[in-house]
Amino acid sequence: MDTGISAAGKTGPLAGLTVIEMAGLGPVPLAGLILSEMGAEVLRIERIGASPPLLDLPAEYDLDRHGRSILRIDLKRGEGRELLLGLVAKTDMLIEGYRPGVMERLGLGPDAALARNPALIYGRMTGFGQDGPLSDRAGHDITYLAYSGLLHAIGRQASPPVPPLNLVADYGGGAMMLIAGVLAALFQRSRSGKGQVIDAAMVEGASMLATPVHAFMAAGLWRDERGVNLLDSGAPFYDTYETADARHVAVGCLEPRFFAEFARLLPLDQRFAHGQYDRAIWPAMRAEIAARMRQKTRDDWETVFAATDACVAPVLSLREARDHPHNRARGAFVRSGDLDRPARRHASRKRRRRSAPRRPIVISSRRRFLRVSASPEARLRPLSNPA
């Protein structure tokens, strides 16, 4: 059975790209999944003897392993290191999320990898970056968000900061920034022929997402406090409201013409309708909006505001979002076995294939039963079965 890195049979804008993903948690696996679903062939390297995963998910739900080939290698042994470097010599990209220095101690750092393959794009994902006073510290999304200043900004006035799941630092400032970095390097390589190292840090990535907020603050349009600004629940026309059935609607009518539509349909008293940005009446405006919203159910309000530009939406649960008519029409979710999950999208309108976990291939580096082929596809071919 052939296994390993092979671009054959995949479609998408990254078809033909080969990627090695060093197994880890959070942003790097999501980046690997997204690259795979854009057409890249991703080989996930799992270390023999590594600690068990934090969440022991059944294979059909473990998206960290979907859409990849998987090899388990003992990277502490010289044979395992040489096996991986042999793969690196024939791949386009490597992404890893270990603490600074781990790959170097394994003999697999950027210097060793680029010596084997000068065209390699080496993507590194950490919380604090490869250097600096905190670079060797452990953390999670909430940790990095705290250091970015963003956690301070999220939540309601006079209430503690609220963690926005792990979407901002791990995935927005982490996985997406890593993907942007390696794809920018891929474009540069198309001109220079040379690879490079991408140092992506979640603190800096999350901070980058807040660049407009820093500009608003410098211009005097934003206060460095929670819940008192235009986009943080401070404005009554950019917030959520409870409905008659104890569910919620989201109101986001920032522009005067959208707010006018909202005020007409709710309806709002004329003094509020004509005083959208008069902060002095915001508390009273909020109270009137809240009272009106409690008069109908969430779905009733969805009907009232349907086909309008009032920027009012039902707050859907994760399960409800999968079945919303718009998401169904767009094919926004796909079914993979028993799992319904968000689907990739690119320019092709062809039927999307679900990604699924592939059977892991365990590589015992104490036995020389594998070789790396010299073919452009860089397949791994078993020469004999391990004992």
Residues marked as catalytic: 140, 170
Q: What is the four-CA torsion angle of 387, 50, 42, 368, rounded to 10 degrees?
A: -30
Rg (CA), the chain: 25
Query: Could you please report the per-residue DSSP string of 87-148?
Result: HHTT-SEEEE-PPTTHHHHTT-SHHHHHHH-TT-EEEEEESS-SSSTTTT----HHHHHHHH
Tell me the H-state helices in the chain: 27-37, 78-88, 102-105, 110-116, 141-148, 150-153, 176-192, 202-209, 211-218, 256-265, 270-273, 282-293, 298-305, 318-323, 325-330
154 contact partners, CB below 8 Å, separation of at least 6: 161, 162, 163, 164, 226, 232
Give whole-number Cα distances, 18 to 8, 68, 100, 114, in Å: 10, 11, 24, 16
CA distance 221 to 229: 8
Q: Cis check for the bond before 376: say yes or no (omega within 30 of 0).
A: no
Tokens representing 245 are 């059935």
Give whole-number Cα distances, 172 to 28, 114, 153, in Å: 12, 28, 16
CA distance 235 to 369: 65
Tell me which residue of 32, 13, 14 sits closest to 22, measured CA to CA: 32
Strand arrangement of the beta sheet that strand 248-252 belongs to: 238-242, 248-252, 312-314
> Strand 370-372 to strand 361-363: parallel, antiparallel, or no bridges (unpaired)?
unpaired
Strand-pairing partners, residue 121, are: 93, 196
